[in-house]
Structure 1
Amino acid sequence: MNRKANAVWQGNGKEGKGQLTTQSGVLSSNPYGFNTRFETEPGTNPEELIAAAHAGCFTMALAFQLQGAGFTADELRTEAVVSLEKDGNGFTITASALTLTAKIPGIDQQKFDELAGIAEKNCPVSKVLNAKISLKATLQG
């Protein structure tokens, strides 16, 4: 299976502008640039997209772990915060912090922690990131 996206850039690094488009069309010429990455101009940026990918991948991986153990979540809500830090003349993604809030009928805390940990370590996005990954998981009610 392959998925693709395209980037188009015009201009230099700081004043230039780009657009991102995904195969599915969910992004279609979405703007990105220095101002959307390092300031607050509307648009997207690579770190935001990695955060979305990590949150989505982990959450789906946990849903499959739960299914395999005989549980179905009422709700899994995950936030991923990706950290970009200055590294010499460039930048490095140093961390992705996952925060999960889950409503899962019939599961105990130990089994929940076990399955969340497996999902965190084994989702494909976790495997590809060369960064510190952390997970704070809360089981509600």
Structure 2
Amino acid sequence: MKSKKISVAISLIMILTSINVPLSQAQGDIENHWAKQTITKWQQEGFLKGDKNGNINPDNNITRAEFITLINKALGYNKTGDKIKTYKDIKQTDWYYSQIMTAIEQGYINGTSKDTISPGSNITRQEVMTIINKIANTKSKSQIDKNQI
């Protein structure tokens, strides 16, 4: 069962690495896109919003901050504690600050160095798989529902 969840997660990740995350309900740049149905569903689920211009930019790479945000929303992770880590490349006023703190609290993300987390850098497939592996290994079978992945 665990390998099935990981397989589903890997499939999801392959789609995610080609989608840019913060999004709004704009449809213009996805109208003829091959992933339109999935993108629209994710918008309806609240996983995707929009950039400041209302575009989804589905063919752009996804950043670390965007991917972390998507994972948190898809798995229902919310910051519950006061665990705060300081990185010199993020501020409390950044849109992704609470998402990154949530990921740290959940234990699936680390900095790219001792004092940076590189939120604006494109996430690599290796980083994606590391995150999925950490999530799969830190949650018991009863905590992860197959529909969450």
Which bracket does the TM-score occupy, shorter chain normalised?
A: under 0.3
Give 1 or 2: higher helix fraction. Answer: 2
Q: Which has the higher contact order (CA 8 A, sep 6+)?
A: 2
**Which protein is bigger by CA-based radius of gyration?**
1
Q: When the two structures are superposed, what TM-score results if normalisation uses the length of structure 1?
A: 0.27
Q: When the two structures are superposed, what TM-score results if normalisation uses the length of structure 2?
A: 0.26
